């Protein structure tokens, strides 16, 4: 499927990935964010100059599971956007 179709899947809760990615087990999820805010933890408070427990507002974003098991915010490359080899995990 193309990226437009994949984006609809991920926004509906599916995990998406490209068959051609090098990393085994990598996939992308949609994080809905916290538009009304969520109490921030100590690490977030320190990074943003807030007090622990202050409301931290966050817009939706895409997040990728890396090959080492960690997670990171993700922005598709132009190759990802134009690819037609997207798949999803139920």
- Find tokens 């080492």 and name the residue: 68
Stretch 9-17: mean pLDDT: 97
Q: How far is residue 82's CA from residue 65's CA, in Å, rounded to a whole number?
A: 21
Residue with the two structure tokens 């949609």: 30
pLDDT above 80 for 23: no
Dihedral sign for Cα atoms in the order 49, 52, 57, 61: positive
In which band, very low, low, confident or very high, does the pLDDT at 20 lie, cut at 50, 70 and 90? confident
Report the pLDDT value the prediction gives residue 19, as an integer from 0 to 100: 83
pLDDT in tens, 37-60: 999 999 999 999 999 999 999 999
Average pLDDT of the residues in 66-81: 95
- Give the pLDDT of residue 8: 98
């Amino acid at each position: 499927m193309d990226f437009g179709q994949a984006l609809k899947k991920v926004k509906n809760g599916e995990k998406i990935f490209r068959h051609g990615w090098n990393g085994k087990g990598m996939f992308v999820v949609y994080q809905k964010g916290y538009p009304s805010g969520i109490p921030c933890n100590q690490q977030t408070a320190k990074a943003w100059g807030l007090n622990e427990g202050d409301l931290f507002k966050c817009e939706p974003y895409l997040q990728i599971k890396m090959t080492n098991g960690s997670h990171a915010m993700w922005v598709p490359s132009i190759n990802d956007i134009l690819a037609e080899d997207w798949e999803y995990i139920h």
